[in-house]
């Protein structure tokens, strides 16, 4: 895999995108025979002998009781269908998480307690765990004439990815993961020019080289991406995290990384497509689902895979909060 400075390779994507986000085509190209929406898994937290305390109840607990409960919490992956069943709502191809968990206006949808006392945390937005991407890619490689030639684009805004001129080191990120106990966080680099007015900015390294950090971007509506050559076949194995050039060896717990025994980790591509353009996979940074556009047979296979929670959606689908008319 190599960085690509000639971003004209991705110009065809821009030609098939809309300006604005009234439909998914602000980020997902028009013109494919079929589309699948693969929703990202949620997390459900439960206790063996009682409902999960609400935030207000949690604040009122003695420290010893909080510690006892922390040791008993069980976190597991949850499908959207399971979540809908817990909240008495309906899972359907256009469902939106906020509606699924019955979030009142003005309240936080990221963590909601169901009537049976379990806490459901919202799916991670913008990416896939290694195993989930491998499951999708296993179908993708069977529906292209160029499984060993393709392209991956990574959103430039992930903290720690690119170097920059500044006074403070770039912050590292935690990647998307299949582990339900590990939530992804995206930290942006920070500067404090008022307290550092006499300090000369210096180059702060990111995960990618200075050449890449200062190089051209694949510019799409509201998003700029770093572009790489990427054989689609690579991602059909969950070990792809060891092979990508944006792998972060420092990611772990605190300042620990791979050298301290933590497994290799890397963000999943924001956009992936083969050289023959038979399909495209889009994990938009603000979406809690990944969209695959391609031939009918590919979309049917993805939707039939019981490792994935996926449904076929039509061209022109609206994926905004208000699109879920069933659960209003």
What does the alpha-carbon distance between residue 30 and residue 203 come to, in Å, rounded to a whole number?
40
3-class state of residue 113 by DSSP: strand
Looking at residue 261, its pLDDT comes to 59
Looking at residue 177, its pLDDT comes to 57
55-72: average pLDDT: 84
Looking at residue 97, its pLDDT comes to 97
Strand-pair partners of 273: 151
Looking at residue 265, its pLDDT comes to 79
Burial of 136 (0-12, 13-18, 19+ CB in 10 A): buried
Looking at residue 252, its pLDDT comes to 47
| CA distance from start to end of the chain | 45
Question: Model confidence at 60, in pLDDT bands (50, 70, 90)?
Answer: confident
Strand-pair partners of 44: 76, 120
Query: Does position 191 have pLDDT exceeding 80, yes or no?
Result: no
Stronger pLDDT, 123 or 249, i.e. the higher one: 123
pTM recorded for the entire structure = 0.84
What does the alpha-carbon distance between residue 145 and residue 3 come to, in Å, rounded to a whole number?
22
> What are the φ and ψ backbone dihedral angles of 51, each rounded to 5 degrees?
-65, 155
What does the alpha-carbon distance between residue 21 and residue 37 come to, in Å, rounded to a whole number?
16
Angle between helices 130-140 and 296-304 (to 10 degrees): 140
Mean confidence (pLDDT) of the chain = 86
Tell me which residue has tokens 């008495």: 88
What does the alpha-carbon distance between residue 305 and residue 176 come to, in Å, rounded to a whole number?
21
Rounded to 5 degrees, what angle do the CA atoms 138, 39, 140 make? Answer: 20
CB 58 within 8 A of CB 309: no
Looking at residue 151, its pLDDT comes to 98
Looking at residue 247, its pLDDT comes to 86
Stronger pLDDT, 189 or 282, i.e. the higher one: 282
Tell me which residue has tokens 């420092």: 250
Question: Model confidence at 262, in pLDDT bands (50, 70, 90)?
Answer: low
Stronger pLDDT, 236 or 62, i.e. the higher one: 236
- Residue-wise pLDDT tens digits, 126-156: 999 999 999 999 999 999 999 999 999 999 9
């Amino acid at each position: 895999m190599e960085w690509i400075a000639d971003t004209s390779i991705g110009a065809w994507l821009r030609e098939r995108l809309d300006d604005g986000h009234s439909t998914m085509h602000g980020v997902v190209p028009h013109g494919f025979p079929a589309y699948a929406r693969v929703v990202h898994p949620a997390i459900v937290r439960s206790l063996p002998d009682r409902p999960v305390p609400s935030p207000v109840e949690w604040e009122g607990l003695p420290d010893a009781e909080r510690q006892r409960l922390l040791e008993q919490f069980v976190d597991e992956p949850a499908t959207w269908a399971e979540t809908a069943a817990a909240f008495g709502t309906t899972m359907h191809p256009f469902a939106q998480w906020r509606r699924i968990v019955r979030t009142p206006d003005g309240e936080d949808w990221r963590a909601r307690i169901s009537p049976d006392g379990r806490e459901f945390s919202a799916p991670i937005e913008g990416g896939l765990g290694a195993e989930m991407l491998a499951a999708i890619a296993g179908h993708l490689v069977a529906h292209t004439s160029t499984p060993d030639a393709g392209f991956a684009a990574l959103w430039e805004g992930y903290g720690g990815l690119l170097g920059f001129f500044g006074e403070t080191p770039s912050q590292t990120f935690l990647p998307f993961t299949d582990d339900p106990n590990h939530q992804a966080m995206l930290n942006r680099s920070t500067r404090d020019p008022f307290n550092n007015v006499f300090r000369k900015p210096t180059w702060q390294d990111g995960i990618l080289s200075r050449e890449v950090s200062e190089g051209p971007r694949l510019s799409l509506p509201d998003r700029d991406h770093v572009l790489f050559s990427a054989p689609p076949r690579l991602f059909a194995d969950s070990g792809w995290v060891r092979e990508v050039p944006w792998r972060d060896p420092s990611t772990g717990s605190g300042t620990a990384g791979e050298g301290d025994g933590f497994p290799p980790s890397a963000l999943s591509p924001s956009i992936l497509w083969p050289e023959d353009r038979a399909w495209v996979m889009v994990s938009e940074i603000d979406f809690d689902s990944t969209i695959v556009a391609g031939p009918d047979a590919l979309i049917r296979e993805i939707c039939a895979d019981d490792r994935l929670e996926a449904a076929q959606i039509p061209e022109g689908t609206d994926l905004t909060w208000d699109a879920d008319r069933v659960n209003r």
